[in-house]
Amino acid sequence: MSTHRLAVIDMDRCVGCQSCMFACNRRHGSGGLARTAIHISSVGGIERGFSVRVCRACRDPPCADACPNTALLKREGGGVKLNPKLCTGCKSCIDACLIQAVSWDTEKNLLIICIYCGICAKYCPYQVIELQDIKTVI
């Protein structure tokens, strides 16, 4: 099981290019944005800067507790792992995530959960986000 998580290093360096979003979607071998687990949007207009919404791998994740069907397994060290076969699409986990880091693929009607692979960080030209080893940060 992966022992990594994503960390936001310096949001002030984000230029809003959304390369991370396209990178996350490309994991599935398609273009566009429907399946991204990371979201960049402006903080009240581009003139005010940007914010990132991505799973921060809570040590005690509320999304997992909210799932009535144990589709979200708590990961050792923090975060969750999705078992798509058990997900009924009730979206309780989406409501439970305070930072709106659980996403929904409106095209395929599927839950999107970050797998902490770090492809988004790899494509960020400005080192805004970073993949960290949970063991070294906690």
Partner 1 sequence: MEPVLSRVLIIDLSTKTYRIKDRNPLFSERLGGAGVAIRLLNEFCPPAADPLGPENPIILAIGTLTALFPLASKCVAMFKSPLTGNLGESHAGGRTAVTMRMAEYGAIVITGRSEKPVYLSITSTEVSFHDARTLWGMARGDTVARVIRSFEGIPGNRTILRIGRAGERMVRYAAVTTETYRHFGRMGLGAVFGSKHLKAVVISGEGSIPVTDGKQYRALYDRLFDQVTKSPLMKKYHDIGTPNNILPLMALGSLPTKNLTASKLENGENLSGEEFASRFLSRRVACSHCPVSCIHIAQIRTPYPHDPYFFKTTPVCYDYELIYALGFMVGVSDP
74, β-bridge pairs: 80
Residue closer to partner 1, measured from CB, 69 or 100: 100
Helix (H, G, I), strand (E, B) or coil at 69: coil
Q: DSSP secondary-structure letter at 60?
A: S
Instruction: Please state the closest distance from residue 70 (CB atom) to partner 1, in A.
Output: 28
Instruction: Please state the closest distance from residue 129 (CB atom) to partner 1, in A.
Output: 14
CB atoms within 10 A of CB 71: 23
Residue closer to partner 1, measured from CB, 24 or 58: 24
First to last CA, the chain: 17
Instruction: Please state the closest distance from residue 65 (CB atom) to partner 1, in A.
Output: 26
Q: Which residues of the shown chain bind partner 1 in the complex (CB under 8 A)? A: 15-19, 21-22, 25-26, 28-35, 39-42, 44-47, 49, 106-107, 123, 125-126
d(CA 105, CA 37): 9
